[in-house]
Amino acid sequence: MASSPPQRLWTSELIASDAIGRIMEFWGFKRNMGRVWTVLYLAERPLSAHDLRERLQLSAGAVSMTLKELSAWGTVRKVWIQGARRDHFTAEGDLWKMVSRVFRQRELVEVQEVVASLERALEALDREPLDADAPDSARRARAQRERLLQLLELSRLGHRLLHGLVSEARVDARALARVLLGREG
């Protein structure tokens, strides 16, 4: 069976894969993860690692590692194609499912850790001995408490927003507006 000539990426695929690659890199992922996922997402059929290597001009190792990472995140999956010797891959098509999984596994965890750390900082502040000989130590403690509470409130709000987003696919932004606009209740 004669192999078909390698397909080049169309300009639209180059532009889209580079854009998604850049945003993925901004979010702390590898740029090629966004590029590979986008090419798979835009493809009319599942592609092999060989297809991806030729289209994106990447090494076999880079494609293999990227597919493994994307599979671990649940953003690509291996599919069986009758008569094909090579593994083929397809992109997760449910964009919300993909994004919410990342929010749940990364951002939500990070925000929970910030909340816990700020709560520990407040507890540590409560245990901090005030120096009777330093008149500004009580003022310093009050200022720190106020600012730590503001950070904690914002972090808890972020947690609620992310939790609402990943669990219900909706967010009540009124609390965010109150914090950003500095308004009470």
**0.85 exceeded by pTM:** no
Tokens of 127: 């245990």
**Is 117 among the domain residues?**
yes
Domain residue limits at 75: 11-92
* Residue 67 sits in the same domain as residue 131: no
Q: What would the pLDDT profile of 51-97 be if each residue is shown by its tens digit? A: 999 999 999 999 999 999 999 999 999 999 888 889 999 999 888 88
Q: Which long-range contacts (CB under 8 A, 24 or more apart) does 149-155 make?
A: 149/122, 151/118, 152/115, 152/118, 152/119, 152/122, 153/179, 154/179, 155/111, 155/114, 155/115, 155/118
Cα separation of 119 and 160, whole Å?
16
**CATH code of the domain containing 25:** 1.10.10.10
Q: What would the pLDDT profile of 110-160 be if each residue is shown by its tens digit? A: 999 999 999 999 999 999 888 777 778 888 999 999 999 999 999 999 898
Look at residue 102 in the predicted model and tell me its pLDDT.
Answer: 84
| CA dihedral (46, 50, 56, 58) positive or negative | positive
Three-state DSSP at 27 gives: coil
Last residue of a domain, one of 77, 92, 107: 92
* Residue 106 sits in the same domain as residue 41: no
